[in-house]
Amino acid sequence: MKGIKRLAQHLDISIGTVSRALNGKPDVNEETRRRVLDAAALLGYAPNQAGRSLRRGSTNAVGFMIESNDETETNSDNFFLGVIGGLTGALLKHNLDLVVLPCSVNEDPHDYLQRIVARRLVDAVIISATQRRDRRIDLLKAARIPFIALGRTGGPDEHAWIDLDFEGVAHKAVARLAALGHRQIAVAIPDNEINLGYVFRDAFEDAMAHHRLTVDPSHIIRARSSEHGGYTIGNALLAMEKRPTAIVLVYEMMAIGLYRRLNEAGLTPGRDLAVVGFREGPQSQFLSPALTSFRMSLRDLGIGLAEGLLATMPAYADQFPQGFVHKLWPMELVEGESDAMVIGR
Amino acid sequence: MKGIKRLAQHLDISIGTVSRALNGKPDVNEETRRRVLDAAALLGYAPNQAGRSLRRGSTNAVGFMIESNDETETNSDNFFLGVIGGLTGALLKHNLDLVVLPCSVNEDPHDYLQRIVARRLVDAVIISATQRRDRRIDLLKAARIPFIALGRTGGPDEHAWIDLDFEGVAHKAVARLAALGHRQIAVAIPDNEINLGYVFRDAFEDAMAHHRLTVDPSHIIRARSSEHGGYTIGNALLAMEKRPTAIVLVYEMMAIGLYRRLNEAGLTPGRDLAVVGFREGPQSQFLSPALTSFRMSLRDLGIGLAEGLLATMPAYADQFPQGFVHKLWPMELVEGESDAMVIGR
CB interface of B with A, residues 25-44, below 8 Å: 36-38, 40-42, 44
* Interface membership of A263 toward B (CB under 8 Å): no
User: Which amino acid, residue A265?
Assistant: A
CATH 3.40.50.2300 fits B166-295, yes or no: yes
Residue A344: how many other CB atoms lie within 10 Å:
4
Task: State the amino acid at position B109 in one-letter form.
Answer: P
Q: Which of A217, A195, A45 is nearest to A134 (CA)?
A: A195
E strand or H helix at A333: strand A332-334
CATH classification of A4-54, choosing from 3.40.50.1360, 2.30.110.10, 3.40.50.9100, 1.10.260.40? 1.10.260.40
The residue in chain A having the minimum alpha-carbon distance to the alpha carbon of residue B119 is: A22
Per-residue pLDDT, A7: 79
Interface residue A88 vs chain B (CB under 8 A) = yes
Please name the residues between 198 and 227 in chain B that touch chain A, using a CB distance below 8 Å: 227
Let me know: does A312 contact A146? Beta carbons within 8 Å. yes
Out of B48, B74, B84, closest to residue A52 by CB: B48
Coil vs helix vs strand at A50? helix
Does B99 contact A97 at a Cβ distance shorter than 8 Å? no
Closest CA to A261 of A291, A240, A290, A230: A230
Looking at residue A199, its pLDDT comes to 96
pLDDT at position A13: 83
Cis peptide before B146 (omega within 30 of 0): no
Q: Please state, as a whole number, how many other Cβ atoms lie within 10 Å of the Cβ of residue A215.
A: 17
> Cα B64 to the chain's mean position, in Å?
10
- List the A185-190 sheet strands across, edge first: A220-223, A185-190, A246-249, A274-279, A292-295, A332-334
Contact B104 A120 (CB under 8 A): no
The CA distance from A329 to A301, in Å, is: 7
User: Does the CB of B3 have a partner CB in chain A at under 8 Å?
Assistant: no
Q: By CA distance, what is B73's nearest residue in A? A: A82
Query: What is the structure's pLDDT at B149?
Result: 98
**Residue in A with minimal Cα distance to B261:** A286
> In the prediction, which pLDDT does B227 show?
84
Give the pLDDT score at A16. 83
Q: Which residues pair with B64 in a beta bridge?
A: B100, B126
Among B91, B94, B97, pick the best mutation site for testing chain A contact (most A Cβ within 10 A): B97
For the domain bounded by A61-164+297-329, which CATH number is listed?
A: 3.40.50.2300
- Residue in chain A lying closest to B39 (CA): A118
List of chain B residues with pLDDT < 50:
1, 47-56, 73-74
Q: How many CB pairs under 8 A join A and B?
A: 192
List of chain B residues whose C-beta atoms are within 8 Å of the C-beta of residue A81: 68, 72-73, 77, 80
User: ipTM of this model?
Assistant: 0.79
Q: Name the burial class of residue B234, with classes exposed (0-12), middle (13-18) and buried (19+) by CB atoms within 10 angstroms of its CB.
A: buried
Nearest CA in chain A to B90: A104
Q: How far is CA A8 from CA A2, A28, A44, A327, B313, in A?
A: 11, 14, 13, 45, 28
- Residue ranges of the domains in chain B? 1-33, 61-164+297-329, 166-295
Report the alpha-carbon distance of residue A326 to residue A315 in Å, rounded: 21
**Domains A61-164+297-329 and A166-295 alike in fold:** yes
Count of positions (residues) in chain A: 345
Q: What is the mean pLDDT of each run of 10 residues along chain A (345 residues)?
A: 70 82 75 78 52 54 84 61 90 94 90 91 94 95 96 93 97 97 97 93 98 97 91 97 96 89 95 95 77 94 97 94 95 95 79
Q: What angle do CA A216, A218, A221 make, to 5 degrees?
A: 115
So what's the pLDDT on residue B37? 75
For residue A105, report the phi and psi dihedrals to the nearest 5 degrees: -60, -20
Residue type, A82: G
Neighbours of A27 (CB within 10 A): 7
